[in-house]
Structure 1
Amino acid sequence: MKNAPLGYECPFCGIAEALPSPAPESAVVLVDANVFAFVPLHHYAGIKGNCLVVPRRHYENVLDIPDNLGSDFFRATRRLANAMRSAFQCEGISTRQHNGPAGDQDVWHFHLHVFPRYSNDGLHAGQKVLYTTEERVEVATSLRAALR
């Protein structure tokens, strides 16, 4: 079942089309053959450094994504987790993924959230807050450096 509205223009496909040389303001931190990762427009509960891992091809949700991309997602997530620990000295990492309207999906392109975590950080109760462009670029720059 597809949930994207008729005529939906996918923002993630727009970023994927610009790879391997995305615009700096897109805050892309990792580009692999089948997936890429970037700092999204917002963070939660003041926890900065979160990223989205996204397939370069369009798949609406977990029901559509091919099995063979699983290792690409795991590898990118592990690399981001190590970069987050290095760049932000976080105590842990959380991931989450949403599917369909009832699952709180709001972009109709499969993506996996990766969060740096700290003791009592309030992530689950935290509000969504927009990054400034400068904050996004700064976070992305820190993560790219840690990925090297």
Structure 2
Amino acid sequence: MVPTHHYAGIRGNCLVIPRRHYENVFDIPDDLGNGFFRATRRLAQAMRSAFGCEGISTRQHNGPAGDQDVWHYHLHVFPRYPNDRLHAGPKTPYTAAERIAAAARLRAALR
């Protein structure tokens, strides 16, 4: 899923989300781990192909002290570029056209 916002102008960030509800990493059953990792790796490879990024970052938050603010487990996957300042930039809304374009590029790379 392409979120409704991006950070520091880095477009193409995605979320990997299990179909069933799990509040955070403490609730996920062990047998979900391999499939979730495979999906994350497949998405990372598609990002590299679709966006020409040089790296990938993942981020996941658990519990209030861990900055969790959405109470359903999800993993952020970011395409990364040299000196992109991912963590220094603000959240910026995507336009509908930007989301559609990013999703189309990823979909093509996933095929």
**Same fold? TM cut 0.5:** yes
Q: Is 1:41 aligned with 2:20?
A: no
Following superposition, the deviation at residue 102 of structure 1 comes to 2.1
- Taking the aligned partners of 1:138 and 1:105, their CA distance within structure 2 comes to 28
CA RMSD of aligned residues (A): 0.8
User: Gapped runs of 5+ residues in structure 2?
Assistant: none
Matches within 5 A, 1:9-28: none
Match of 1:27 in 2: none
User: Gapped runs of 5+ residues in structure 1?
Assistant: 1-37
Q: Which digits, 9 at most, give the CA deviation of each residue in 1:72-124, with x for residues without a partner?
A: 11101111111101110000001010112221212110000100000000001
- Equivalent residue in structure 2 for 1:132, among 74, 95, 100: 95
Q: Is 1:66 aligned with 2:29?
A: yes
Following superposition, the deviation at residue 126 of structure 1 comes to 1.4
DSSP-derived class of the 1:93 partner = strand
Specify which structure has the bigger relative contact order, considering alpha-carbon pairs within 8 angstroms and separated by 6 or more residues.
2
- Taking the aligned partners of 2:77 and 2:19, their CA distance within structure 1 comes to 17
Following superposition, the deviation at residue 61 of structure 1 comes to 0.5
Matches within 5 A, 1:71-82: 71-82=34-45
Match of 1:118 in 2: 81
Q: Is 1:90 aligned with 2:53?
A: yes
Seq. identity, %: 79
Match of 1:103 in 2: 66
- Taking the aligned partners of 1:121 and 1:143, their CA distance within structure 2 comes to 20
- Taking the aligned partners of 1:111 and 1:131, their CA distance within structure 2 comes to 19
TM-score, normalised via structure 2 length:
0.96
